[in-house]
Every structure is written in C-alpha cells, then in structure tokens.
Structure 1
Amino acid sequence: MSVHAQPTHHSVVIVGGGQAGLSLSYYLQQRSIDHLVIEKHSPMHAWRSQRWDAFSLVTPNWQCALPGWPYAGSDPHGFMKKSEIIDYLDGFRQHVNAPLLQGAAVQRVTPRGSNGFNVITSAGEVTADQVVVASGGYHQPIIPRMAERLSKDILQLHSEQYRSPAAMPEGTVLVVGCGQSGAQIAEDLHLAGRKVVLATGNAPRCARFYRGKDVVDWLADMGYYDMPVHEHPLREGVRDNTNHYVTGRDGGRDIDLRKFAAEGMALYGLLTGLEGETLQFDANLQENLDHADGVYNRINESIDKYIAKAGIDAPPGERYEPVWQPQGERRTLNLREAGITSVIWCIGFQPDFGWLDLPVFNGRGQPGHVRGVTAQAGLYFLGLPWLHTWGSGRFSGIARDALYLAEQIEARTGASEATADMEQAEVLLS
C-alpha cells in the first residue's frame, strides 16, 4: 500500500506491525472495520534483529496463543528456538493478512480538530478516527553515560546487538545486568567456555520445574496469569518490575548464578562507576543473590500451599539452598588486569513516545490508561507489559487485550456512525 499526497482516511490506524498490531487487525477484520497497520521496518522485525542466535522462549510453547493461531507443534511443554519462533510468527502474519504499510516510520500523531487524528509518516500523511499504539515499550536501549569513558579498544554492545560467543573478541566479557537477557547471555557465554564477569542487580529468579511440573503450569492453574493489574498487590507498580530470570534452553532449566560462580564466572554487585580503567561496584552481591533466591523460594512456597489446599498428589518439594557464597564483597575491578575486551549492556530499554503529541503521559513518559484505553477519546495502547495482565506483553495474553480493544473500537465506531446519521437526518429535515 502507499500513502498519497492527499491524505487517505481510515477508521483506525494501528502503529506497529508486531504480534500486538496484527492481533488487533485480526479482530478488526472480523468486525469489518476499516484500518491500516503502519510498521517502521517489517512485521515482527524485533524478533529477527534483537535476539541472539541461541535465544529460546522462556515460557512453554502452549502459551503461544495468538488469535486464531495457537501453537500446533508436537512439543507444547517445550520452548521454541529463535528460528521456530520466527516461523510461528511468519505463519501468523500470513494468517492475518493485515492491511499493511511497511517501511514507514510514524513521525507525529496529533489531534484532528475535535474528532480524530492526523498521522504523519515518512511516507506521507493519513488521517484516522481512532489510533492504536502497538509499538511496544522497548524503544531506546539503555546505556549509561559511563560507557563514553571506556577505552575505544573495548567493544561495547547492547543486549539487542549480541549474537553469539563466537562473534565476540577474545578476552573476558563484562555482562552488565542480570535480568532475563543478562542472565541468559552470561549463560550463553559461560557454556561456550568464555571468561565472564557479571555485574548483578536485584533481578528476581524462579524455578523452571517444581514438584513435577513447569512452574508456569502451576501458576496458570493457580490463576496468576488471569489476575488483572488492579488486583495485583503492587497495582500498577508491577509494570516496573524486572522479569524473573530462567531459561527454556535445552528443554528448560533454572539459571543459578551461584552455580556459575562455582564454575568460574566472576560475580560482582551493581556497577556504579568508572575511574580511569577501574570499575566501581556496590557491595551488594550477597544481597542481590539472596533476594533472587528468596523470590525463587517464595514462589515455590505459594505452589506448595496451592497443592496442599487442593489436595493434589505431587512429588515432594524442597527449598533451594545456596551452592556458593561470595567470600566478601569486591568493590573495584581494573579492566586491563581483568582482560576485559568487551562489554554487553543488559540493563533494558526505555519507552520513546515523543512522536505522540497528545496529553496522555505521566512524568516518566509512560502512558496513562485503563486496560489500554486512554483519557484521549479514540486513542489506545496495546502490547505493553501488564497492560491488563501478566500476559499482556507476551504471546499468551495479547489476544485477550486485542479483543477487548476491538470491542471498544467497534462501540465507538458505531456511536460515531449513529451521530453522523442523526446529523445528516437533521440537515435533510431542515
């Protein structure tokens, strides 16, 4: 499709052609609602460009439940690898066959009078009665300013740029951050025999399997994935939480940083600064490890209580006991002496909605909404973490959110058409 000099009009414009935008297109097509999906690159671009070679899902395949496209393979309790994920998503794209404008970056969205929006793109302008922002919340890689002071002969990557141990220069690799990406990338390097220094944070972790089942299966049985954000103990604060680190690699297993340390990985506390060639760390490695293990055990304890209350016959459980303890806190590390030749920053992303010229954001640049519906009539968000439930930003919950927004859009479309019909009738009768 192309955008002409004279703006074309659509009932709905969806910004973003990932799994969120295409999921909404699926439901809008069912309702015969005119719409256009605008994608800056190509559909599912991030899955091809921002995942390392050994990447696999951390949630079991049965949770891949995009609308009209459930997982249909032979291993529902396995974990798809990168190539399999891309195949699954390519199939979904073909299944939906959305009205798509790709290779066009949305540069500005502004109100259009008292009703509707102007959507300015690198390919021209369109107008819309309603706009859905489905571009996710992971836009700008976070790299601290101290990175500017590292020696130019040290390779620096963000986690989205990392591909494999073989692609890294010889020498020690410093991985900064131990959330899902940091822990898994550190493991990838460690398994390849690379010397790794890992700067930890307060990321939590969870077991892969417990008492005979995947922990995800237990939590699904317990109704955790159906809990809406307003019922979560942290309320909207849960959106700021770091994801638990675990892996689906090689059939799935725990990630235990203490085990890695016992095998030679060098663990430090939070990276806080750089003086010359010397890195500085908080003395909180013990605290970070204890926090992660505490969350791990508390999740298992909640499963124990559920099993006991429901009278389920399951294998006995056990409490995790540390397999390694740090012998004191190390506050500094000289880059040259440690042989560090590369750094991988695994400290996440921040949202960038600067192109959305509408008053719906808080002081941290995050959109205010209730289940994706904003205070700006006709403007919605989709695909954000904990938009409504844990699965909102994942393959498991996006269908529910997309269906809900399709219903809101349909209701507003119907109300607008009814108003237009009444205005036309008044004109004819005047």
Structure 2
Amino acid sequence: MSFNTLIPKSRAHVTTVIVGAGQAGMSASYYLCQAGVDHVVLERHQRFHAWKEDRWDSFCLVTPNWQCRLPDFPYRGDDPTGFMVKNEIVSYVEGFCDSFDAPLHEGVTVTRVEKVDGIFEVDTDQGLWSADNVIVASGGYDRPITPPFASKLAPGIMQIHSKSYRRPSDIPDGTCLVVGTGQSGVQLMEDLRIARRDVRLAVGPAPRSPRWYRGKDATDWLHQMGYYDITIAQQPDPKSTEAKTNHYMSGRDGGHEIDLRRFAMQGLQMYGSVSDMDGTTIRFLPDLEQNLDDADKSYLGIRETIDHYIAREGIDAPLEPPFEKVWRPDAEITEIDAAVEGITSVLWCIGFRPNYDWLQVDCLDARGRPVHTRGVCDEDGMFFLGLGWLHTWGSGRFLSVAEDAAHVAMTIASQNKPATKRVKSAV
C-alpha cells in the first residue's frame, strides 16, 4: 500500500484542512478546488477506507443507485433503480475522486486540533499544519458499540462486531446470536441464513420500511413527495430525529422488504433486547412483541403517507393488499443458557459512536455531539460534514452530501481569507 504523504518541515499554513477522505471530505475538496481555495485533505488510511475495508462481502446499498449524486458525478450506470454492491460502490467513489485533482494526503493521522490565537493548529503523526478553517468529515463510525455487560460473557463464546464481519465463515460453527435490528443486524442475519448457518436474533427497537409499494420503491415515493427536502430544523423534535435508527430493509438481489415475522415463520428464533450477560447466561427484556409492533407501526405509517399523497395528487397507482401480522410470539423468552442452546458466537450490530478525542475546540455539546447549523459551527472556522441529519435525511448519504459540502465550501470561499500570510515558525 503506498500513500501520498506530505511531511511539512515547517508548520505549513493552508486556508482549510479537511479531516477525512470519504465522500463528505472529498465532496468538500471538490468544491474548494472549484472556488480556488487552498486546502489539504488528511486521511489516516486510504481514501474511502470505510467502503473498502469496513463492509462485509455481500454489502450493497439500501437506497437505489439514482440517489448517488456526488458533485458533478451522478450515477451513470444502466440500473438506476438497482442497488450497487460493494465493488461497484468503490468504483463509483474512486471514479469521482479521479475526476479532479484533490490535494489529498493519505496515511496521515490527525492527533490534535486546537485553536490558538484565532488560528487552528492541526497536529498529525506527519507534522503540524495551521489553518483558518477545519472541516471535520471523519464520520460517526469510529467506535463500535458493545454494552458494558458484554465483558461478563463466557470467554469461550466469540464476540464480533458488525464492523469486523466480512462473511459467514468468520463465524465459528454452532449458533450465532445476532444482536440488533438496524440495517446491519437484519442484513447480517439474512447473510448467515442464506449460508445455511444457525442464527438467532435479538430484536431491538429499530423501525422498518416498505421496499416496493404501489408500483414504486418507497424511497422514490418519498423523494417525489419532498420528504428528503425536509430539514432537521423543520422537524418537530430535531434532537429526537437526529438520534433515530435508520429504517431497515434490503437492497440485496434487487431489493426487498424485511418482515421479521415472516422469518420467524421460517424458523428464526427471536428474542427481545439483550439486557444482561453473565457467564453462559444471556438475559433479554420482554419487549420482542412490542419491538415488532413498533417496527410495523413505522412501516404502516410510511405506507399511509404514500397513500394520502397518491389520493391527494390523483395519481393512478396500483393498490396493495392490506398488511397482516403473519406471526406473533406465544411467549417472551427472557433468559437462556448459551451453552445449552449451542450459541458459540455473538454478533453485535448495535451501532457506533464518533471519536472526537483529538478535537480540542469548543464545538461539541455535553453528549459529545457537534453543535452546528448545516455543518457551520458558532466557533468561527469550524465545520462538520457527512453526519446523519446534518441538514436533511440525505446528509449522511450519497443523496445530499454534495449539497451540504457545497454550502460549507461556499461559506469558506465567501470569507476570502488570505492563506499565505499566516505561515508560522518551524515545528
């Protein structure tokens, strides 16, 4: 692996430092290049590392390809309503990066960002930079979440996080308990079942979505209805919206809904949320039925919203049969012995937290979350990109990251700060 690194012998100054070379950071670089703003992009791994290294083999988009809209680089393939698989996604983002000459430095880890006398000091393992502006585009998936009680599980039971899962052969023989029903949890459960592995599922409170409804993908309807244009500021409870788990569905094999009740009818053993572990004992909350009901409630809410839109606009769309709950649990199982049940592994799919330990700037709230308006912080010169609901639903996705990046880049360009008069002394 070769990296394009630059080791500044002095504290080199640029107008803007971008931290992270994923789709958000590279989109910001694209627009800064267009505006003639000098900058660097610092990436601790390779560009688009997460797409290349942090996804499982059968990974595919859950939103259709037409939503891939990086700056001046929309999806141009022959399957706009399909769902790109991992290698196709990598080709797409690499093609975008190759479309312009970004000042990208790979293999550079940012270790500290601090504001001193109105200038940002950006310390890295390759030297020190200074900048008028810093764009944090490192994403929110740094630290895989596992609960504290996971440490009490018997050491003979393998524990693996979704970030480390690549294929069913990563899981030892025996039964695997998948914990969590966000997009990763349900897709990895299905991945294991397709491989004819014995899998069980601890169902959390994640919502679910229709896939194909009344003649269109549900995301097509939502886009047509203007849902993706609604900003976080227009939400009734922005903090609650920001914290919501993504609706689960799949883009695999052309895309399909995931109704866990149907999986149960096919033999999938399900439990409620994991509440504790001790040795080989695993305990669950008695919330399986409630979580299934809540997921269906969100599913039906989306269908109803689409129905109202179709009726209001007088659109000729095919009808769908009414939804029916094809299965419900007879009883809630709240405790099992993993040894008796043959459980040899636990696959954690309960999310991630960002890591901003290196960011020594007053721009985070008490929970450690960035405080901003569409990526622009009150702290002059501090910006964020690529976060979920940074501005709209699509902010953390291919759909709208370019719009947010353009907004941040134009904010920086409009300041028109000189970049060559603030070079400081050698490190």
- Normalising by the smaller structure, the TM-score range is over 0.9
Q: Which residue of 2 aligns with 1:97?
A: 101
SS at match of 1:160: coil
SS at match of 2:24: helix
- Contact 1:3/1:126 (<8 A) preserved: no
2:315, 2:102 → 1: CA distance?
Answer: 45
Q: 2:156 aligns with which of 153, 175, 188?
A: 153
2:41, 2:173 → 1: CA distance?
Answer: 44
Deviations 1:216-269 (A, max 9, x none): 000000000011111123223211000000000000000111111111111000
2:8, 2:82 → 1: CA distance?
Answer: 47
* Aligned CA distance change for structure 1 residues 286 and 149 (closer, same or farther; 3 Å): same
2:156, 2:101 → 1: CA distance?
Answer: 47
- Contact 1:159/1:344 (<8 A) preserved: yes
2:236, 2:184 → 1: CA distance?
Answer: 26
* Aligned CA distance change for structure 1 residues 297 and 411 (closer, same or farther; 3 Å): same
Q: 1:352 aligns with which of 341, 355, 365?
A: 355
Letter of the aligned partner of 2:293 in structure 1? D
- Contact 2:154/2:279 (<8 A) preserved: no
1:327, 1:195 → 2: CA distance?
Answer: 21
Q: Which runs of 5+ in 1 are unaligned?
A: 421-430
- Contact 2:158/2:345 (<8 A) preserved: yes
SS at match of 2:129: strand
Letter of the aligned partner of 2:143 in structure 1? Q
Q: Which residue of 2 aligns with 1:372?
A: 375
Query: Structure 2 length as normaliser, TM-score?
Result: 0.95
Alignment pair present for 1:283 and 2:261: no
- Contact 2:153/2:278 (<8 A) preserved: no
Alignment pair present for 1:361 and 2:364: yes
Q: Which residue of 2 aligns with 1:239?
A: 242
Q: 1:41 aligns with which of 41, 45, 59?
A: 45
Q: Which residue of 2 aligns with 1:126?
A: 129
1:372, 1:268 → 2: CA distance?
Answer: 39
* Higher mean displacement: 29-38 or 162-171: 162-171
- Contact 1:230/1:236 (<8 A) preserved: no
SS at match of 2:163: helix
Alignment pair present for 1:53 and 2:53: no
Normalized per residue, which structure has more helix? 1
- Contact 1:14/1:131 (<8 A) preserved: yes
Give the count of matched residue pairs. 416
SS at match of 1:111: strand
- Contact 2:15/2:418 (<8 A) preserved: no
By how many angstroms is 1:318 displaced? Answer: 3.4
Q: Which residue of 2 aligns with 1:7?
A: 11
- Contact 1:25/1:96 (<8 A) preserved: no
Alignment pair present for 1:393 and 2:415: no
2:263, 2:290 → 1: CA distance?
Answer: 17
Structure 1 stretches of at least 4 aligned residues deviating more than 4 Å after TM superposition: none
2:154, 2:341 → 1: CA distance?
Answer: 14
Q: 1:110 aligns with which of 83, 90, 114?
A: 114
- Contact 2:59/2:85 (<8 A) preserved: yes
SS at match of 1:360: coil
By how many angstroms is 1:407 displaced? Answer: 0.9
Give me the CA root mean square deviation.
1.2
**Mapping 1:214-253, distance limit 5 Å:** 214-253=217-256
1:49, 1:321 → 2: CA distance?
Answer: 40
Q: Which residue of 1 aligns with 2:92?
A: 88
1:360, 1:118 → 2: CA distance?
Answer: 15
Deviations 1:35-57 (A, max 9, x none): 00000101000111111111110
Q: Which residue of 1 aligns with 2:313?
A: 310
Q: Which residue of 1 aligns with 2:269?
A: 266
Letter of the aligned partner of 1:301 in structure 2? E
By how many angstroms is 1:356 displaced? Answer: 0.7
Letter of the aligned partner of 1:100 in structure 2? L
1:288, 1:186 → 2: CA distance?
Answer: 17
Give the number of the structure with larger relative contact order, counting CA–CA contacts within 8 Å between residues 6 or more apart: 2
By how many angstroms is 1:166 displaced? Answer: 2.5
SS at match of 2:99: helix
- Contact 2:203/2:273 (<8 A) preserved: yes
2:384, 2:322 → 1: CA distance?
Answer: 40
Deviations 1:40-88 (A, max 9, x none): 1010001111111111100000000000111010000000011111111
Q: Which residue of 2 aligns with 1:164?
A: 167
**Mapping 1:63-74, distance limit 5 Å:** 63-74=67-78
- Contact 1:18/1:45 (<8 A) preserved: yes
Q: Which runs of 5+ in 2 are unaligned?
A: 422-427
SS at match of 1:297: helix
- Contact 1:177/1:198 (<8 A) preserved: yes
Query: Structure 1 length as normaliser, TM-score?
Result: 0.95
Q: Which residue of 1 aligns with 2:35?
A: 31
Letter of the aligned partner of 1:102 in structure 2? E
By how many angstroms is 1:417 displaced? Answer: 4.6
1:274, 1:134 → 2: CA distance?
Answer: 36
Q: Which residue of 2 aligns with 1:293?
A: 296
Aligned-pair identity (%): 50
Deviations 1:295-339 (A, max 9, x none): 100100000000000000000133321111101111111100111
Q: Which residue of 2 aligns with 1:423?
A: none
Letter of the aligned partner of 1:132 in structure 2? I
SS at match of 1:161: coil
- Contact 1:176/1:200 (<8 A) preserved: yes
1:344, 1:103 → 2: CA distance?
Answer: 30
SS at match of 2:233: helix
1:99, 1:319 → 2: CA distance?
Answer: 54
- Contact 1:270/1:284 (<8 A) preserved: yes
